[in-house]
Structure 1
Amino acid sequence: MKKTLRKTFTLGFLLIGIVVYGQEFNFDIQNTTLNEYLEMERKLGSEQIPNIRNHVSVENAQPIKFKREQKIISDLVGYYYFKKKDSTMSHILYEWDESLLTLKANTNDKKSKKYQKALIRKFNELETMIADIYGEPKTTGDLSNLKQANEKGGLKQNVKWFPNDSTEIEMYTSVSNYYEKKGMMTIAPTHRIRLYIRNTKKEAKVEPKLSEKRLNTLKIISSEFIETLGNKNIAKSKGYLSTLIIENVTDGQLNTLIENWDFTKETELVYSGIQVGLDGKIFTMLNFKYKDDFTEPAKELLKMVFDDNDKVVGIQPIKTQN
Structure 2
Amino acid sequence: MIPGTSVLRQVPAWQSQLARAITEPAELLAAVGLGEEWLPAAQAAARLFPLRVPRGFVTRMRPRDPHDPLLRQVLPLAEECLTAAGFDADPVGDLAAMAVPGLLHKYRARVLLTVTGACAVHCRYCFRRHFPYADANPTADRWHAALGYIAGDDSITEVILSGGDPLTLSDRRLAELVRQLETIPHLRRLRLHTRLPVVLPERVNDELLAWLGDTKLKTVIVAHANHAQELDGPVRAALARLKAAGAELLNQSVLLRGVNDSIEALADLSEALFDAGTLPYYLHLLDKVQGAAHFEVDETAARRLMQELQARLPGYLVPRLVREVPGGSGKLALT
**TM-score higher than 0.5:** no
The structure that is strand-richer by fraction is: 1
Work out which structure has the larger RCO, using CA pairs closer than 8 Å and 6 or more positions apart in sequence: 2
TM-score, length-scaled by structure 2: 0.19
TM-score, length-scaled by structure 1: 0.19
Compare CA radii of gyration and give the structure with the larger one: 1
